[in-house]
Structure 1
Amino acid sequence: MRIPAINIRYILILFIGAIVFQSCTKTTPEEPKVIPEPEPEKGPDPIKDQTYVYSSESQLEFGLYQNNALISSFGQTDQEKKFKNRPKYFRPQAMTLKKDSLFITKAGGYKESYKIKWEKEDLFIYQDQNKDWKHFATKNDKNEISLNIALYNSQLKSENSNALRSGQLYNPSSINDILSDKSRAAMKTIWLKIKIIYVPENVKS
């Protein structure tokens, strides 16, 4: 039996159309999703060096003491008469904090350095001579550092001698810091205690 040519043509067209339709309906395989790698956690900011400079001062105590009892008081204008320029040269002009170290600069180019630690807002320096930590200064909520210093001139008279002693201290608690059990009864001391404020170098007006 002879199949008409026109029927064969239709069959071929339908067959080709079915193949094309099937190929078009195949879904393109999805590309694998790339999961972004988490960014590394940022570590703490490196500790920056911070320099504090002298801003102001106020006189806390200034007088003549017998033992630890105040005999008479002096005014601020008497500082130079009693201590010459010692307060100026003992008082730090600038203090630079570098991690666990403190570098102090004073008038005349004199420098000191200490190992330090913080306990909350209190700054401690390590004293090599005593092998212990001493409270040095305090930082307030304005980012200011408050430091107390003291200077003294003592006189101890006896029947056979007249001993004179002078010195200066960082952050003394009281005049009792310089009195010994043997000398305190007969010792007279001119005692000056000053509170000094330091501010960050870049914000000083």
Structure 2
Amino acid sequence: MDSTSIRHSWSDSKAVTPPRLPTELWLQIFEQIDDVEFLWCTLRLVSKEYKAFVDRVFVTKYLLTISFSLSLPRLDPDTGRARYARPVPGAEITLHCRHPDAESSRVTLATPKAVPSGDTIEELTASGALSKQRLDEAQAWMWFGKQRTRGANVATINKDIRWNETEKAWTWSVDWEAFVNRYFGAKKASRRTLVVTTRARRQRTRT
């Protein structure tokens, strides 16, 4: 079932009370919707029951596809001088969600054990290239699945990133619901900015 037909059906039946169906059936229906924004920003707001269904679908289907890319700073924003002398290949580190719990509002994001260049996270950390301060200062870009071009800037401060000595990786515990809200909020703000910019350009062209 594609998201377009779902939208049309939903639009036509807004005034009708949804039928009472078993929870398992509702979950199967919602799992067929391929538009995560429509799920989160429209269906989830209909009722407490729908919110519970959508949350469950996100935990089981979408959270494992979330990635966070930390754009690592190098220059001091005040002086323009290099604050971190040791480079990191690609100037970013990507964290992935793992082991989401349907009963918990938090999930853990973790770095891989090595970056594409072959350098291990442990080596980069030991060299000083990856410090907690640098990771805390990094801007975070979030996206679903492999559609990195659809990412949104979701955080620059207040990260709870910690070194896990056992796993030799950096981990970050996040309130996943808050970050999904922030993601779609950033997407909407970006679209509004694009609309305003486009209108301004058209007006300048006409004059």
More helix by share: 2
Give the TM-score, by structure 2 length. Answer: 0.27
Give the TM-score, by structure 1 length. Answer: 0.27
Q: Which has the larger radius of gyration?
A: 1
